[in-house]
Structure 1
């Protein structure tokens, strides 16, 4: 299943975030496949799209950075998946 991971950090955490990212490369933990990651210019904000079969790896990711960043994790759907769900919903209503 795909998930959107959003993060925000305070300017006071900037140096620590930079150090950790440069040291680890921001690698995803075991059980999480990083599909893409984007960073905002001029701040500790961004998001990633990841794939995971269960929540264990997502929990590890949040805990790994939780002392420096706040994270939100949301299930994600492709347009095709959403279209199928909407079609099924509309069919039930008829």
Structure 2
């Protein structure tokens, strides 16, 4: 299943975030998560990633590693094709 992972940090966490990113290279996700892409906002301590995981357990473990710097929002995601199929099934059931 795909997930949208969004993060936001307070300006007071900027130095800690920079140091951790430079030390870890952005810390790739743990086993059980495939990162499909990651983007960072310019001028903000925020960004998002699209990841794939069969379980939410590795997602929880991953974000806990950065919980002292960022707050996270994680939402299930579907592709246009997946959404189209769900909408067609919904319309057929009306």
State TM-score, norm by structure 1.
0.96
CA distance in 2, matches of 1:15, 1:31: 29
Which one has the bigger helix percentage?
Answer: 1
CA distance in 2, matches of 1:43, 1:59: 24
CA distance in 2, matches of 1:61, 1:6: 13
- Give the CA deviation at 1:14: 0.5
**Deviation >6 Å, runs of 4+:** none
- Give the CA deviation at 1:56: 1.1
CA distance in 2, matches of 1:38, 1:56: 23
CA distance in 2, matches of 1:62, 1:78: 23
Structure 2, unmatched stretches of 5+, are none
Number of residues paired by the alignment? 93
State TM-score, norm by structure 2.
0.96
Output one character per residue of 1:28-66: Cα deviation in whole Å (capped at 9) or x when no partner: 122111100011000101100000000111001110111
- Give the CA deviation at 1:24: 1.2
